[in-house]
Amino acid sequence: MRDSKGISMISLIVTVICMILLASIAIGTGSKYIRESRSNDRAAFVSVMSNAVARRHADTVLNSTAYPYLGYYINDSVIFEKIFVPKVSEPIKYENGIWYVLDTSTARELGVKEPEKYIETIDISYPEIVKVALVDYATGKVYLIDAKASEMSGLDSIISGPVVGHDHRYVDEINYPNCTEPLKCADCGFILKESLGHKYDADKLPEPASGDEENAHYNRQCIVCGMQGGYEPHDFEYLHLVKNGNWHHRAYCIICGYEKKYGIATEERCTEVIKLPESDSERTNNHIRSCRVCGHSVNEGHNIGYRRISESMHEVYCTNELCGYRIRREYHVDNDNNSKCDLCNSDIVSYSYPQLGIVEMSNANPLSEEQKYVAKYGDNISLKIIADKAIKKETLDITIAGQKVPQEALVTTDNKTWNIIFYLNPNVAIPNGNIAFRITCESMSGVELPAPVTSPSDGKRVVFDGTAPLVQYIQKVDRIDEKE
């Protein structure tokens, strides 16, 4: 009996749960049905109002009071863009005279029945949000939106009176809109249809740009209007040519194949420049010739030329006017004895340098004949020079033992015979051995010695010994006085 009661209680609980689940399903289904019904009803209301708006537009004559547009007239594009455009989920555009806001009362005026089920009455004194209809009389479009009474305060309430606006006049609906221009009213400029934009051929190969083919190419072209796009400057590659020994070049765009024009020609002379190699040894023999435009370059030897710079010398230089490098200076050469330089063709009128026939060095104050060619610190050295022609004193440059002989020590009466006395200063280090000397000079006509004189004409050299004596042994002796 107890088990039977337990089973009955369980059955009751299951039954109650099933009833609750069935009730929930029924409520959900009913709510969905109600929502769908309301959505369908709202769509039906929008359709009815749209038909009413379209009929009113069809019956309206501009500037007539017979069938005026009804509602709150939106007469400002700024207000339209700021307040109403954000409330609509699809793009809309302002046009003067066609956009209105309708509430319950204006909807009834249009002949819509029971509009209060879907929209409300605008009351300026009522601050809450109300449901209204935003309508476009020209197209019959209707949008149900939420709006505040304060947003309506700036609009014109029109219940009767003439419609403000005009009938649009579209001049060419066949050719407009096109790729770049919209279809718009010829009177007010209202855009009915926006421009279509270009349609480009995805497989278009680059071609020189029309009207600017010398500088650019394009890689896009509209298949509708032919408009070119994707402009880029040419990327030229140069072809080097040599004609009659002169450098030329041609240029081709590596992207579109355009061949550059130079006036009516397809090639031009290279703009040549020359620079020298960095290495001194290389620049003595070569220069680098290149084109400033096409970049072609070669190493080539100098064009050797000679030009006179003095009675005794000429300069070796590159005759290429873009180079002109001064290679070296050298003495004139007259192997055929015709008084003209064999290289620079300069007249050799007084080409003669001093011949130092006698150059003798000795100790100026020797204690004996043996010491005539030996010297030590504190001695005076005598240097005697006899030239075959006069020497400019200011050009006579003499060094003895690495020290320059001062001008006041150069003594002469005729500029041919020179007697020089030079003091070996103990305060200046002099290496032991032959005392070296070096002589350079010019003749009165400015002709230099071809090479410095460093050897005596008699072959005798003065030997310097700067080593102090070294006492190696001292013996002590006793003094013995003699007895008388």
Domain ranges of the chain: 2-158, 356-464
Report whether 228 contacts 200 (CB < 8 A).
no
pLDDT of 420: 95
Secondary structure (3-state) at 47:
helix
Residue 353 confidence class, pLDDT cut points 50, 70, 90: confident
**Bridge partners, 273 (sequence order):** 290
Query: What's the whole-number mean pLDDT along residues 281-287?
Result: 92
Residues 6+ positions from 53 with CB-CB distance below 8 Å = 110, 135, 136, 137, 140, 142
User: Any residues with CB less than 8 A from the CB of 290 and at least 6 apart, and which?
Assistant: 272, 273, 274, 275, 296, 297, 298
**Residue-level pLDDT at 482:** 55
Residue 128 carries which DSSP code?
Answer: S
Q: Answer whether 268's CB lies under 8 Å from 261's CB.
A: no
pLDDT given for residue 210 in this prediction? 85
Give the helix/strand (H/E) hosting 384. strand 380-387
Give CA 463 to chain center in angstroms.
71
Instruction: Say if strands 374-375 and 463-464 run parallel, antiparallel, or are unpaired.
Output: parallel
pLDDT bin (cut points 50, 70, 90) of residue 162 is very low
Q: To which H or E segment does residue 50 belong?
A: helix 2-59
Q: Choose between 32 and 243: higher pLDDT.
A: 243
Average pLDDT over residues 337-344: 84
Q: Which two tokens mark 283?
A: 């620049």
Report whether 325 contacts 336 (CB < 8 A): no
User: What distances in angstroms separate CA 125 from CA 48, 129, 148, 209, 382, one per listed residue?
Assistant: 29, 12, 10, 66, 132
Strand order in the sheet with 99-102: 141-148, 129-136, 99-102, 71-73, 156-158
Token pair, residue 413, equals 């009466």
Q: Is the omega angle on the peptide bond into residue 406 within 30 degrees of 0, that is, cis?
A: no
- pLDDT at position 157 is 63
Q: Of 168 and 114, which is predicted with more confidence?
A: 114
Helices (H), 60-146: 77-79, 104-109
The pLDDT of residue 85 = 93
Q: How confident is the model at residue 160 (pLDDT cuts 50, 70, 90)?
A: very low
CA-based nearest residue to 307, from 337, 321, 328, 291 = 328
Angle at 82 between CA 78 and CA 83, to 5 degrees: 115
Fold of 356-464: Immunoglobulin-like (2.60.40)
Report which residue type is found at 96.
Answer: N
Q: Does the reported pTM lie above 0.75?
A: no
Whether residue 380 contacts residue 424, with contact meaning beta carbons closer than 8 Å, is answered with yes
Query: In terms of pLDDT, which residue wins out, 96 or 261?
Result: 261
